[in-house]
Amino acid sequence: MLGLGIDITPVERIAALDRAYPERFRRKVLAPGEMPRTAESLAGLWAAKEAVSKALGTGFGEFGPRDIRIGYDAHGAPTVTLAGRAEQVAQARGIARLLVSISHAGGMAVACAAALQ
């Protein structure tokens, strides 16, 4: 393991940003193909992107949330695809694979990410 990241965020905080600035917020945060249907899903995506950025060792200092795409495999497990500067950071650090887990409870979304060789 080369890195580990975790994030927890209030669902209502992300929902409020989405309500206040829907186009701007989603354009800044969502990668192509990401289409959350609920506030919980949107907050989970945000938490996952934060956790991945921390597992990469940079946070969002070197790239933005759109460089991290959270998808789902055939079993519904979340997957991570990197693009742009996030992909370059991963390559430079020898990170070949990222694992992520997302959960929601009590009005909070939490995600944990591991960066592997």
Q: Which entry of 28, 49, 54, 75 is annotated as an active-site residue?
A: 54
- Beta strands 108-116; 3-10: pairing state: antiparallel
Q: Are 29 and 60 in contact (CB under 8 A)?
A: no
N-to-C CA span, the chain: 6
- Would you give the DSSP letter of residue 94? T
Tell me how far CA of residue 100 lies from CA of 21, 38, 69, 88, 108, in angstroms: 27, 19, 11, 19, 17
Residue 104: active-site member: yes
Question: Tokens at residue 34, please?
Answer: 């990401």
Which residues are annotated as catalytic?
54, 104
